[in-house]
Copies of this chain bind each other. A is one copy, B any other.
Amino acid sequence: MNETVLYQHGTLALLVPGLLTGTLTMKKLLQHGDTGIGTGEGLDGELIILDGKPYQVNSRGEVNVVSDDFKLPFANSHFAAYRPLMTVENATQEELHDQVLGLTHDNNTFFSILVKGTFTDVKTRAVAKSERPFKSLAETAKNQSVFNRKEVAGTLLGYYSPQLFDGAAVGGYHDHFLADGHDFGGHLLEFGTVTGDVQVQTFSTLEQHLPTDNAEYRNHDFTKDDITGVIHQAE
């Protein structure tokens, strides 16, 4: 258990052409951390792991705890050892992101942010699980639901990746959200303001695990995929 390591299974890039097979179980993901984010096979909802508990927000907006054998094509996890960074009052999402970078100077570093507080005008999304044969990320992501809350207390869990790793990970911030009442959450599209406590955890190592025993992944020709173009439309 090393708190300076961020574990990643799969890459964001492999979702682009529709390699949506779950290639890691939740059980294995949790061996690499008690905190994390991800998606299920066929883009089955949005995952957020807090204190070792893996919550899934599905496309009906329901929040469920998934089982050990739930499978994921792409996910991150790490063992939480956050340090308090600042408190914010009515900070916009951009202000939050910028202030964290301003204080940490971690632009070239993988790190996580954990924000507990009250958020306004929160917009999240969750994709509906698609079945085989999987279509591309752009096609699959069309079948998504968007959820809104005027004001909600909850937790933002985000990962920041250096721009160099864009495509493998999401360059910049990638935030998921879970309401304290466990009745709202998902991939965080935007929010108005947040008032609460901001914690960060810096990683010196990215442990990048690839699904090297998956034939579809092994044999796919990525050279024809517009990886970063599609990602930044979808994310």
Q: Give the B-binding residues of A (Cβ under 8 A).
A: 11, 13, 105-110, 162-165, 167-168, 202-210, 212-213, 217-223, 227
Contacts and interface: CB of A to CB of B under 8 A. Distances in A.
A202 B212 CA distance: 9
27 contacts: A105-B219, A106-B212, A106-B218, A108-B210, A108-B217, A108-B220, A109-B210, A109-B212, A109-B218, A110-B210, A162-B210, A163-B222, A163-B223, A164-B227, A168-B168, A202-B212, A203-B212, A204-B209, A204-B210, A204-B212, A204-B213, A205-B207, A205-B210, A206-B206, A206-B207, A207-B208, A208-B208
Q: Give this chain's copy count.
A: 2
Given A106-B212, A207-B207, 8 more contacts: A107-B221, A108-B220, A108-B222, A109-B210, A109-B212, A110-B210, A202-B212, A204-B209
